[in-house]
Amino acid sequence: MAIYTATSLLFLGAASAAAIARSTYPHGLCHQFDVAITAEAPGAVYALPQVVDDITTVQWAIQADTWSWKARPDHGIVKNITIAGTYNIHAQLCVPTGPGRKTNVLQIATHGGHYDGRYWDSEYKPEEHSYVYASLAAGYSILTYDRIGAGKSDIPDAYNGVQTGVELDILRQLTKKAREGSLFPANSWSDAGLEVSTKPDKIVHVGHSFGSVVTTAFLATYPEETDGGIITGFALNKYFGATGFSSWYAQYAATAGWNRGSGYVVNQKSGIQVVFFGGDPATAFTQELLDYGDSIKQPVPVGELASGAQIIGRPGTGLKAPIQFVLPEFDFFICGGDCKGLTDVATLRETWPAASDLELVIQPNTGHALPFHNNATAGFQLSFDFLARNGL
């Protein structure tokens, strides 16, 4: 593969982490690395059952789905706390090397629950199912990372350590480091013949599912720190989450062989299909895609799920950047199985009244995990077209 050498490809800079792996694509070059992120945010102690085996995992799911629990005005909060620490975050930064590269735009993509950063970068037929591959081919740089509690990032306490407030601050700190050019040493790319020295002019924040909860909260809370948003697999409506955690077919993560402690649960394969796959099985996805989606799944901490109300649904009145919502047609967990007609641009405008452009698109014959469906690339292109129309 020919590597394009330039001094203006991307925005790294001072040594704050060490590159630990490299991979290549036809249209770009990627580094995997670890970076220390110091973050702090309000949190809470929740009245959650202790999840220590398969029986208590089911108990947790039933409690969370009980109408009287959902109706609690205190959201199950026992007391308020502050969550703070310095976290090891595992990330991957990819830069384009082709002639159509957009050297001044960086996407920062935040994955949802049940997965890690690999959600964005499928190793199964990446040319058809990797958002990273597609981004590089379209000329975009992209930073993906494992949220705390998932993948190769730190695995804090499942009840009081992994909550949405601190995850929001981690995203903010990652964004700051990217803008400052301090993610990891620029000279670590030099052995590949690629000089990386400048900072991004614009950053687009991309989310999926629970990662979209975090991303929309970022856009609403820090509108001046983003240049655009792509929100996938998430929109508030009357069916949002109505299928409940019981539909996950969850089991205790340690029972399933994961190196996780109390409070971490993981979907069985049937739950992965229920939550993440949709549409006509004869045309929407294949057995191989379902197998792959199951093979890269991750445990989820119960405190993260309980804490969603900390940040969900914040008004985005200050956001002037463009924002696009991409919904799968047959998203079971977000839309009760059918996203058509559940929301519209006028409804979204109530939350994002000043956005310079606001678009809602429905991706046909797909379920919650858009990249794991047969027409994934068409969905990717919808987002790239939106960004291009908005000068991104």
Q: Which CATH architecture has domain 19-389?
A: 3-Layer(aba) Sandwich (3.40)
In this structure, are residues 200 and 141 in contact, taking their beta carbons and an 8 Å threshold?
A: yes
Q: How far is CA 72 from CA 69, 77, 128, 177, 284, in A?
A: 5, 9, 44, 39, 38
Strands in 114-263 per DSSP E? 141-145, 202-208, 228-232, 250-252
pLDDT digits (tens, 9 = 90+) for 169-179: 999 999 999 99
Tokens at 154, concatenated: 């730190």
pLDDT digits (tens, 9 = 90+) for 339-382: 999 988 999 999 999 999 999 999 999 999 999 999 999 999 99
Give Rg (Cα) of the chain.
Answer: 20
Mean pLDDT of 272-286: 96
pTM: 0.93
In the sheet that 264-267 helps form, which strands lie side by side, from edge to edge? 250-252, 264-267, 300-301
Domain boundaries, the chain: 19-389
Percent above pLDDT 90 for the chain:
78
Three-class secondary structure of residue 173 per DSSP: helix
Lowest mean pLDDT among 75-84, 119-128, 192-201, 350-359: 192-201
So what's the pLDDT on residue 72?
A: 86
**C-alpha neighbours within 13 Å on the C-beta side of residue 270:** 6
So what's the pLDDT on residue 198?
A: 58
Bridge partner list, 86: 38
The confidence band for 186, taking pLDDT boundaries of 50, 70 and 90, is: low
Question: Is the pLDDT reported for residue 1 higher than 70?
Answer: no
Q: CA–CA separation, 87 vs 158, rounded Å?
A: 15
In this structure, are residues 24 and 136 in contact, taking their beta carbons and an 8 Å threshold?
A: no
In the sheet that 228-232 helps form, which strands lie side by side, from edge to edge? 19-25, 28-46, 77-96, 141-145, 105-110, 202-208, 228-232, 323-328, 358-363
Question: Is the pLDDT reported for residue 9 higher than 50?
Answer: no
Q: CA–CA separation, 283 vs 265, rounded Å?
A: 31
In this structure, are residues 327 and 339 in contact, taking their beta carbons and an 8 Å threshold?
A: yes
pLDDT digits (tens, 9 = 90+) for 62-108: 999 999 988 888 889 999 999 999 999 999 999 888 777 776 899 99
Q: CA–CA separation, 31 vs 14, rounded Å?
A: 16
In this structure, are residues 34 and 82 in contact, taking their beta carbons and an 8 Å threshold?
A: no
pLDDT digits (tens, 9 = 90+) for 209-260: 999 999 999 999 999 999 999 999 999 888 888 888 999 999 999 999 999 9
